[in-house]
Chain A
Amino acid sequence: MGHYSDPPLLVLASLAGGPKHGHAMIEDIAGICGTRLGPGTLYGAIARLELQGWIEPLPAEDRRQPYRITTEGLRVLRAKLATMQQFIKAGVKRLEPL
């Protein structure tokens, strides 16, 4: 318990704030939720998300490769966050009488 860790969701959430390359994503995610993704974990998530068409690469800047979220990726992120919001609301409601 502590830091939230669902690497693909964290990457989508980070890219929802604008295109980023790997190192910027790691720093942004650490700022959002305190989870510092390892480079291997980050690229595992990037590869899966790219395969699903939820993120896409932009023209490379030197050796750094920026990515952006696609329209489909935004739809998936919204759906996942809505589910989480319902879950959080229900969980908090159950905790209120305790």
Chain B
Amino acid sequence: MNSLWARLLTRMYPRDWRDRYGAEYEALLEDSPGDLRTAANAAYSGLREHILPSRGGSMNQLNRSFADIVKKPSAFLPLGMSGSALIVLGVAAMSGGLIPHHDEGAAAHTWQLLMAGQLPVLAFFAIKWLPRAPRQSLAALALQLGAALAAMSPVFLLRL
């Protein structure tokens, strides 16, 4: 396999993994046949390493705290979206727009978009971080769930 392909395929692995195995793996790829089967195996393994790390996460996963996990974009974005959804409801309530109506209006549509839009982000967060830092990720997911419930509760309590 030529060195450019070997480098590109190695780059598909997470940085922590590359720091440990990158140089030797790239050398192995250069010694391997440059066929589709080998490239597909390397690409699949690289992507898989992002989801199910072979070393149980990053090389320094033991130092990863709850605060580190919550700072990840896929952790704080759903929290922000739930918070924004709650603010949308608050603003609509203050302007007298929380009366159940056949035409849902802009506030309701914005709320729905914010709540539905966080589902793929939540799924990404769970897939990426649960295998690497299970305890901290579960705590972050509980926080995200609490925020989502807080944003949904006025809608159900007031039957909007």
Contact = CB atoms under 8 A, between A and B. Distances in A.
Give the interface size class of chain A: 20 to 34
B17 interface: yes
A75 interface: no
A43 B27 contact: no
Contacts of A65: 21, 23-24
Contacts, number: 68
- DSSP majority for the A interface? helix
Which of B28, B31, B42 has the most chain A CB within a 10 Å cutoff? B28
30 contacts: A21-B24, A22-B25, A22-B27, A22-B28, A22-B31, A23-B31, A23-B32, A38-B37, A39-B28, A39-B29, A39-B45, A40-B42, A40-B45, A40-B46, A42-B28, A43-B21, A43-B25, A43-B54, A44-B45, A44-B54, A47-B54, A47-B55, A48-B54, A48-B55, A51-B55, A51-B56, A63-B24, A64-B27, A64-B28, A65-B21
Of all A-B residue pairs in the complex, the 4 with the closest CB atoms, nearest first, are A40-B45, A38-B41, A63-B27, A65-B24
Given A62-B27, A64-B27, A65-B23, 19 more contacts: A22-B27, A23-B28, A38-B37, A39-B29, A39-B38, A40-B45, A43-B28, A43-B45, A44-B48, A44-B54, A46-B21, A47-B17, A47-B20, A47-B21, A50-B55, A60-B24, A63-B26, A64-B28, A65-B21
Interface of A: 21-23, 26, 38-48, 50-51, 60, 62-65
